[in-house]
Chains A and B, each alone.
Chain A
Amino acid sequence: MKRLMLGNHAIARGCFDAGVRVATAYPGTPSTEITEYISQYDEIYSEWAPNEKVALEVALGAAIFGKRALCSMKHVGLNVASDPLFTASYTGINAGLVVAVADDPGMHSSQNEQDTRNIAKAAKIPVLEPSDSQECLDFARRGFEISEMFDTPVVLRSTTRVSHSQSIVEIDERKEVDFEYKKDVEKYVMMPAMARKRHEIVEEREKRLREFAETVELNRIEEGTSNMAFITSGISYQYVKEAYPDACILKLGMVYPLPEKLVRGFCGRFEKVYVVEELDPFLEENIKVMGVNNIIGKEIFKRTGEYSPSFIKTSIEKCKLEIPYRVDEELPARPPVLCPGCPHRGVFYSLRRIKNAVITGDIGCYTLGALPPFNAMDTCICMGASIGMAHGISKVSDPSIKTIAVIGDSTFIHSGITGLIDAVYNKSNILILILDNITTGMTGHQDHPATGYNIKGEETRQLDIAKLCRSIGCDVVEEIDPYRINENIKRINDLLEIPGVKVVIAKAPCKLHRRYNTTLPGRYVDPDKCKNCKVCLTLGCPAMSYREIPDIDPNLCASCGMCESLCKFGAISMIKE
């Protein structure tokens, strides 16, 4: 049956067909939907792990015990999972292990645009790179076979435009695969004496993989009718086909290790060959190492952001794209904003009013607190960094500076807990605001250990974040209601006077989450009472606009009531039904 499928859905389906038994992940755009789709299959045990390192360890355990396993993450998640990945390369697997990693060129929803191929190469692990949804499905399935043939984890690398594009696929049937677990200390216990032997095996395996790459059907030459020649992979292949449908193309489905003879033979046929790849010159450098020099790559194609067919064409032909219609005036920008009724808005409204504060931020919707009208964030680096950085700042800053870390519930569980332990252990003087909206918000409402539900929506034990912080030894642990903004400014200021590690949990559910959603009638502005002071507008709520006086769009208002609490003239109230 032919159907339209998202790349991530197709990866999930490919894993289903391959008889995968375990799928683990920590959510991260653009990889999240892989595991969401897999969670709909009863044949596969799936879970959200607290972070990518744990997720990969769970999947590795299952693979070594003889069941095919998938672990999915975004590119930066692979940094967290690198520790198990590098040594899993030594132990090898038993049943197939595929690590699906989605890169984000252009940074639609990421803090950097690192290139996963480099990490996989450093770990000496083969990399498959699909170009559309059908290949997502096929390569996922093929990934398990290659994993087992060579006793290695396999990285399935996609990018945003592959993961988040729908194209036509044909689906197959599920086949069960089972391997027996045999205790093998030499293989699975990586002490130095064993690891030394395994490293030899890894190097040997790489040689065999290189040979395999020469003939594997994932790499193919598409003959053309023009004299233009390209080497490309992934989404860039589609752009090249679009720009130069008549060109001759070496399409690489396996991008590491590279097939030297195939590449040499191909390049030998042409005067020059364009190597088209987003982000790093990975193919280009690995080809140049072969001594092939008639290739053109990053000297004309950029290393940053996404490509497009017109980008490739204009870079090669050194011309400009003609744009028929342009707007001359500058249009007001529309960056993402906190949603109407978002509890984070209350926290940042309060934080903006704390004097002499340095605020370290973290990864989530709440990173938007760095933007106007709040401007209440100094840093955002990686998952959990807010706490460690705040601790570092407090150790070197003047005592008059108040150091505050802001971190979400899911991010705290992912990587904040160890930072908190460090801060308490080393007698820090910081305040940590945990913005607990009882979900993983930005990636689309995935459950986590503190929500009390698992990936299937079944009830489970609920991590008590406050109790955890108390047991770590924090000097103060208390909960606040993020919507009570005036009270919270005072409370935060009072707590900042107390020495030690203070944890404040601002707890209120994400306004978009169906589980907690209550539909209240919106608020409205009474024009007879409004004095036009515009204080309500300082909340930066997208449900509000200004014509002659502030106005609230009843279709957008989530009725959080913060504007009403700010109005000194009683001009804002709930619409009576």
Chain B
Amino acid sequence: MKESFDILIVGVGGQGNILFSKILGEAFLNEGYDVKVSEVHGMAQRGGSVVTFVRAGEKVYSPLVDKAQADYIIAFEKLEALRWLEYLKKDGIVIYSDYEIPPMSVISGKSRYPDVDSILKDIGVRHYKIEISSLLMELKNPRVQNTIMLGFFSKLTGIEKQVWERAIENNIRAKLLDINLRAFEMGRDIELKEEELKV
């Protein structure tokens, strides 16, 4: 069992950060960790860049993950993986969905959507890229990307699969449970292969 986890969950308001962090928090709690989760509500949710912090350890004080402290950044949107990069600690890992939501300045042509893959490689950040579109197509449901990402991330935690499944069952409405458990399974089936970095 790992000693502690400092995790950033980043994305765009409305992508379901809060639900994801609830499931994560509950799984850690049931594994016996002290847990803190910090959420964002209100104005910040309206399609803006959002971050949720999840911390687990023997004793957790601050609910915030500090800059240069995160073991993992989990990004539900590609560009957001870059925005929060200063929070990653040395040798920390970025897990990101290749889903793109262009910000307004990109839509209006005032700025350019960056090439996330090559920037991460250039900086030399360890990362996993989840090619989400084809998986979502297979499930015919765009709303379960987080659960796929959770499935993938769960393999890095050393926590038993059943613990995760129970946390999902406790937090997701019965009607949507089946599709989410399938999405979780699908995430677990993704091969754990880090993207290669430029030398």
Contacts and interface: CB of A to CB of B under 8 A. Distances in A.
Interface of A: 2-4, 6, 29-30, 32-33, 108-109, 132, 161, 164-168, 235, 238-239, 241-242, 245, 308-310, 321-327, 329, 331-339, 365, 368, 372-373, 442-444, 537, 540, 542, 544-546, 553, 555-556
A373 B66 CA distance: 34
Interface string B77-110: 0011011011011101000000001111111110
A108 B12 contact: no
A241 B61 contact: yes
Contacts of B105: 332-333
Nearest to A544: B107
A164 B39 contact: yes
A29 B63 contact: no
A4 B119 contact: no
A388 B4 CA distance: 54
Given A326-B85, A329-B114, A335-B48, A165 B39 contact: yes
Given A6-B39, A109-B42, A310-B66, A327 B103 contact: no
8 contacts: A168-B29, A238-B63, A326-B86, A333-B103, A336-B43, A339-B46, A442-B43, A443-B42
Contacts of B112: 332
B190 interface: no
A329 B42 CA distance: 29
Interface stretch (B30-38, B153-161, B179-187): B30-38
A334 to B, nearest CB: 4
A-B pairs, 4 with minimum CB distance? A109-B42, A29-B42, A336-B48, A165-B63
B88 A161 contact: no
B151 interface: no
A105 to B, nearest CB: 12
Contacts of A553: 101
B35 A167 contact: yes
A327 to B, nearest CB: 5
- Chain A CB within 10 Å — which of B34, B35, B67 has the most? B67
A338 B38 CA distance: 24
Interface residues of B, number: 60
Q: Mostly helix, strand, loop or mixed at chain A's interface?
A: loop
A331 B39 CA distance: 23
Contact of A4 (B26, B38, B43, B66): B26
Given A321-B67, A324-B89, A442-B46, A238 B62 contact: yes
A310 to B, nearest CB: 4
Contacts of B163: none
B35 A4 contact: yes
A165 B38 contact: yes
Given A4-B25, A168-B34, A324 B88 contact: yes
B95 to A, nearest CB: 15
A324 B90 contact: yes
A166 B119 contact: no
B103 A334 contact: yes
A288 to B, nearest CB: 28
A141 B109 CA distance: 54
Contacts of A29: 41-43
B123 interface: yes
- Chain A CB within 10 Å — which of B46, B60, B102 has the most? B46
A109 B42 CA distance: 6
A327 B104 contact: no
Contacts of A238: 61-63
A310 B45 contact: no
A164 B46 contact: no
Contact of A308 (B41, B62, B85): B62
Contacts of A545: 102, 106-107
- Chain A CB within 10 Å — which of B14, B34, B47, B112 has the most? B47
Contacts of B119: 327, 329
Given A324-B88, A325-B125, A332 B113 contact: yes
B34 A336 contact: no
Contacts of B60: 167
Contacts of B82: 327, 331
Given A332-B111, A334-B47, A336-B44, 6 more contacts: A2-B29, A108-B40, A239-B61, A331-B79, A334-B12, A334-B79
B48 to A, nearest CB: 4
Nearest to A3: B29
A242 B113 contact: no
Contacts of B25: 4, 166
A245 B61 CA distance: 9
B86 A323 contact: yes
B114 to A, nearest CB: 6
Contacts of A373: 104, 108
- Chain A CB within 10 Å — which of B37, B102, B104, B109 has the most? B104
Contacts of A556: 101
B139 interface: no
A166 B35 contact: yes
Contacts of A325: 85-86, 88, 123-125
A161 B29 contact: no
Contact of B43 (A108, A308, A372): A108
Contacts of B124: 325
- Chain A CB within 10 Å — which of B38, B43, B64, B86 has the most? B43
- Chain A CB within 10 Å — which of B63, B68, B125 has the most? B63
B42 A323 contact: no
Nearest to B115: A329
A72 B60 CA distance: 28
Given A321-B67, A339-B14, A166 B62 contact: no
A109 B41 contact: yes
Contact of A372 (B22, B46, B104): B104
A546 B85 contact: no
Contacts of B92: 324
A164 B38 contact: yes
A85 B76 CA distance: 45
Nearest to B86: A323
Contacts of A161: 38, 63-64
Contacts of B67: 308, 310, 321, 323
A544 B192 CA distance: 34
A203 B13 CA distance: 48
A329 B120 CA distance: 12
Contacts of B109: 546
Contacts of B90: 324
Interface in B111-135: 111-114, 119, 123-125
Given A332-B79, A537-B108, A166 B39 contact: yes
Nearest to A164: B39
Contacts of B85: 325-327
Contacts of B80: 334
A400 B42 CA distance: 38
Contacts of A324: 68, 88-90, 92
A235 B61 CA distance: 9
Contact of A108 (B42, B49, B114): B42
